[in-house]
Amino acid sequence: MKANCWFGKHDVRLCEVPEPQLLSPRDAIVRVTLTSICGSDLHLYDGHVPSMQEGDVLGHEFMGEVVSVGSAVENLRPGDRVVVPFAISCGRCFYCRRELWSLCDNSNPGYSHMLGGYAGGQAEMVRVPFADAGPLKIPAGLRDEQVLFLSDVLPTGYMAAENCQIQQGDVVAVWGCGPVGQFAIRSARLLRAERVIAIDREPARLSMAAAAGADVIDFSAEHVTERLTEMTGGRGPDACIDCVGLEAYGRSPDALYDRARTTLMLATDRPTALRQAVKACRKGGVVSIAGVYGGFVDKLPLGAAFAKGLTFKMGQTHVQRYLRPLLKRIEDGTIDPTFVITHRVPLEFAPEAFDMFKHKRDGCVKIVLTP
């Protein structure tokens, strides 16, 4: 079968690989009908995750039709249409029982949502471990594009906003208007934020944020923390969401410092957006981190965070916790995740699609791939 495989920095290729087999009684094999590329795939593409091996099949956002199931999977049958959450979780351990799915003791030791061992879903078929605990059956009547993002970016944006404990009248600032940021912006509105301020430099992404009612700041043209102070009457946003992660851009002295240190392999992450979030957030506010960080960050103003009594919330999304509530919102029409799709291409074009998504060319926000 065909699959999109990682070979090294900025090198992904469409390859012929063996079809997956059932390896455990709790497995299912799914024929992928729609998959997508995520900002987390870019961290692999840009060579920021050391555990990758040549030939690894990429992709953690996918859905499809069940082809076969292991003997212990009683909730799924061949022919069922499912969305598969990126967090591979056993459903039975200490953490899964507390709904902390992405912290599962039996499946996710670190970075495996970005693969690190499991073959991914940018392929014609995929093996789904713990198929009795993860996949969500999709009712008839919903199109693939309406539900695909339940696998990751919709719950991720939603959890990032939920973590802000939004109160009536709150101002929420969101760094990064990629797919995760777009869903964080809309979720913050849904959770009754009075005002959302979105920060990026990509015109298409800023327009998409503005279409959701956000005020926008172009970080390439404006001084972000000064603007935020002005826009909030000197107090700062009540909550700040980082939807950028370890590959933040910037031309400020701290951003140039990060770039030099990561280039020289003296540091792993570029936390420009996170520093700004800590700096801008009002006293007693929340800094919610959805963007991925990989190792050690330098010059994080922890003294300011401490003095202001900030709350930090972060981590990989507990996707399974949000599947049913968000599916309901899609069914009743409160959320239509398809707005974020700017490009639809066949799986064969995955290498070109990665390059386009990385460089945000042609107004690219989210690319879906059809095997």
Ligand X SMILES: NC(=O)c1ccc[n+]([C@@H]2O[C@H](COP(=O)([O-])OP(=O)(O)OC[C@H]3O[C@@H](n4cnc5c(N)ncnc54)[C@H](O)[C@@H]3O)[C@@H](O)[C@H]2O)c1
Helix H, strand E, coil C: the string for 263-326 is: HCCCCCCECHHHHHHHHHCCCCCEEEECCCCCCCCCCCCHHHHHHCCCEEEECCCCHHHHHHHH
29 contributes a contact to ligand X by CB under 6 A:
no
67-106 residues near Zn ion, rule: CB under 5 A = 89-90, 93, 96, 104, 106
199 contributes a contact to ligand X by CB under 6 A:
yes
Spatial contact of 275 and 254, defined as CB atoms under 8 Å apart: yes
Minimum distance from CB of 42 to ligand X (Å)?
5
Six-digit token pair at 213? Answer: 């009612």
The contact pattern for ligand X, residues 281-300, with x = CB under 6 A and - = no contact, is: ---------xxx--------
Residue with tokens 């935020």: 228
Q: Residue 337 CA to chain centroid, in angstroms? A: 14
Partner whose binding site includes residue 269, from ligand X, Zn ion, none (CB under 5 to 8 Å by kind): none
273 contributes a contact to ligand X by CB under 6 A:
yes
Residue with tokens 């997956």: 20
**DSSP for 162-180?**
HTT---TT-EEEEE--SHH
Minimum distance from CB of 250 to Zn ion (Å)?
23
Q: Which residue, 100 or 277, is less far from Zn ion as judged by CB?
A: 100
70 contributes a contact to ligand X by CB under 6 A:
no
What is the chain's percent helix, strand, coil content, to nearest 5? 35, 20, 45
* Cα angle, residue 163 at apex, residues 169 and 130 outer, rounded to 5°: 150
CA distance 44 to 358: 11
Partner whose binding site includes residue 198, from Zn ion, ligand X, none (CB under 5 to 8 Å by kind): none
Of the residues 3, 22, 38, 248, which one makes contact with Zn ion according to CB under 5 A: 38
Q: At what angle do helices 179-190 and 153-162 cross, to 10 degrees?
A: 50
Spatial contact of 290 and 312, defined as CB atoms under 8 Å apart: no
156 contributes a contact to ligand X by CB under 6 A:
yes
Partner whose binding site includes residue 329, from ligand X, Zn ion, none (CB under 5 to 8 Å by kind): none
180 contributes a contact to ligand X by CB under 6 A:
yes
Partner whose binding site includes residue 248, from Zn ion, ligand X, none (CB under 5 to 8 Å by kind): ligand X
Partner whose binding site includes residue 93, from Zn ion, ligand X, none (CB under 5 to 8 Å by kind): Zn ion
363 three-class SS:
helix
Count of chain residues binding ligand X (CB under 6 A): 34
CA distance 308 to 274: 15
Partner whose binding site includes residue 96, from ligand X, Zn ion, none (CB under 5 to 8 Å by kind): Zn ion
40 contributes a contact to Zn ion by CB under 5 A:
yes
Of the residues 122, 317, 320, 342, which one makes contact with ligand X according to CB under 6 A: 317
Partner whose binding site includes residue 243, from ligand X, Zn ion, none (CB under 5 to 8 Å by kind): ligand X
Partner whose binding site includes residue 156, from ligand X, Zn ion, none (CB under 5 to 8 Å by kind): ligand X
- 292 to each of 82, 213, 257, 323, how far by Cα in Å? 26, 26, 20, 21
Residue with tokens 């009248």: 169
217 contributes a contact to Zn ion by CB under 5 A:
no
Q: Which residue, 106 or 268, is less far from Zn ion as judged by CB?
A: 106
52 contributes a contact to ligand X by CB under 6 A:
no
Minimum distance from CB of 327 to ligand X (Å)?
18
248 contributes a contact to ligand X by CB under 6 A:
yes
Q: Which residue, 119 or 243, is less far from ligand X as judged by CB?
A: 243
